[in-house]
Amino acid sequence: MANLSVNINKIATLRNSRGGNNPDLVKVALDCERFGAQGITVHPRPDERHIRYQDVFDLKAVIATELNIEGNCREQKFIDLVLANQPAQVTLVPDTEGQITSNHGWDTIKNQDYLREMVTLFKNAGIRVSIFVDPVTAMIEAAATTGTDRIELYTEAYAQHFHQDKAAAIAPYITAANKAIALGLGINAGHDLDLHNLQYFNQHVTNLLEVSIGHALIADALYLGLENTIQMYLRQLTN
């Protein structure tokens, strides 16, 4: 069964919109754990428009499940934050400054030497490393040469085409996963996975270890309640 890591960026966005500490980000993270989530994901950005750097320290001090910190490792402040907090996993994402959300994976061929350097840095600190990639065989092959532990498959294209032709939508991800397995890489996935498309993805992508889900899960929780929503997502990963 793949683990569910809940991305709580949207909770931080809501909190920041009014100042103060409502909703309480740390309490939400602890509740997500209590409701069954096996991990908490945060993706701090330089402008701190949602997750603040201090949030990461506060979360690391209390959560019992895996902490996954996503972000752009070209930012020294991000590197320092990860090394200071020693999360279970760091996910390297090629964000640009001011980017609303992640919208592409790494060009692991062009950035191969740089990524190898970053992977070595974090692994030497005892942190598991995952590289955010598109479902392209060449990119996965190049990712494997960096020494990364895992890749995270960027699933927006799958989500966009799922309702038109689910078999065609999943096909490149099956190929990508098979290549990753052959190369000894663990497989994570994330971006626009939801209650409609998650089960099918989980059923067809071999050896899926973790999904990171934020926007859809938090949006569903507005109608369904957080505990019920987490349980519904977990059920998609058991069938």
Domain-wise residue ranges, the chain: 3-236
Q: Which residue type sits at 226? A: L
Q: What is the pLDDT of residue 196?
A: 98
CB atoms within 10 A of CB 34: 12
Average pLDDT of the chain, as a whole number: 95
Q: What is the pLDDT of residue 167?
A: 98
Q: Tell me which of 33, 152, 191, 210 is the catalytic residue.
A: 191
Minimal CA–CA distance to 211: which of 161, 168, 154?
Answer: 154
43 included as an active-site residue: yes
Q: What is the pLDDT of residue 101?
A: 52
Specify the range with the lowest mean pLDDT, choosing from 72-76, 123-127, 186-190, 229-233.
72-76
Q: Is the pLDDT of residue 203 over 70?
A: yes
Measured in whole angstroms, how far is the alpha carbon of residue 24 from the centre of its chain? 21
Q: What is the pLDDT of residue 161?
A: 98
In the structure encoding, which two tokens stand for residue 13, read together?
Answer: 């966005």
- Cα–Cα distances in Å, from 22 out to 16, 28, 50, 175, 198? 8, 10, 13, 43, 30
Determine the average pLDDT of the residues in 211-220: 98
Going by pLDDT thresholds of 50, 70 and 90, the confidence category of residue 96 is low
Q: Tell me which of 33, 50, 70, 152 is the catalytic residue.
A: 70
Level-2 CATH architecture, domain 3-236: Alpha-Beta Barrel (3.20)
Determine the average pLDDT of the residues in 213-238: 98
CB atoms within 10 A of CB 190: 25
Q: What is the pLDDT of residue 100?
A: 46
Q: Tell me which of 43, 50, 152, 210 is the catalytic residue.
A: 43
Q: What is the pLDDT of residue 99?
A: 47
70 included as an active-site residue: yes
Determine the average pLDDT of the residues in 55-68: 98
75 included as an active-site residue: no
CA 155 – CA 171 distance, rounded (Å): 12
pLDDT per position as a tens digit, 139-180: 999 999 999 999 999 999 999 999 999 999 999 999 999 999
Determine the average pLDDT of the residues in 16-37: 97
